[in-house]
């Protein structure tokens, strides 16, 4: 797993980090390097997930098919939102 300059993953909760390692293994299978990247600015409520170690943005260099997206979503339980955007995958804890 690579980390973009300026991104600090030390605050990530151990369980969340373990789930990112699952995604990293998926990327390795497809000959890519997973990279945690800085989040887009959002509302204070949205950004609070990043501050508490419950969210991360991942660079998305792979053209995702539905199968690949399902594999990545499989690394997370129902209480995580996994959002595929054009250039990134946003993952955040959402118990609601």
Which residues of the chain have a pLDDT value below 50?
44
Alpha-helical segments (H) within the chain:
14-29, 44-51, 66-73
| Number of neighbours of residue 84 by Cβ within 10 angstroms | 14
Share of the chain above pLDDT 70, in %: 86
Across the chain, what does the average pLDDT equal?
82
Cβ partners under 8 Å of residue 61, min gap 6: 32
pLDDT value for 74 = 93
13 and 50 in contact (C-beta within 8 Å)?
A: no
Predicted confidence (pLDDT) per residue in 15-40, tens digit: 999 999 999 998 888 777 888 887 76
Against a cut of 0.95, is the pTM above it? no
């Amino acid at each position: 797993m690579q980390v973009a300059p300026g991104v600090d993953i030390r605050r990530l909760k151990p369980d969340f980090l373990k789930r990112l390692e699952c995604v990293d293994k998926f990327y390795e299978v497809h000959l890519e390097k997973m990279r945690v990247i800085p989040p887009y600015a959002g509302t204070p409520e949205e950004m609070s997930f990043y501050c508490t170690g419950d969210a991360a943005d991942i660079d998305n260099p792979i053209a995702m098919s539905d199968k690949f997206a399902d594999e990545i979503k499989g690394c997370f339980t129902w209480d995580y939102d996994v959002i595929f955007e054009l250039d990134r995958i946003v993952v955040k804890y959402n118990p609601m």
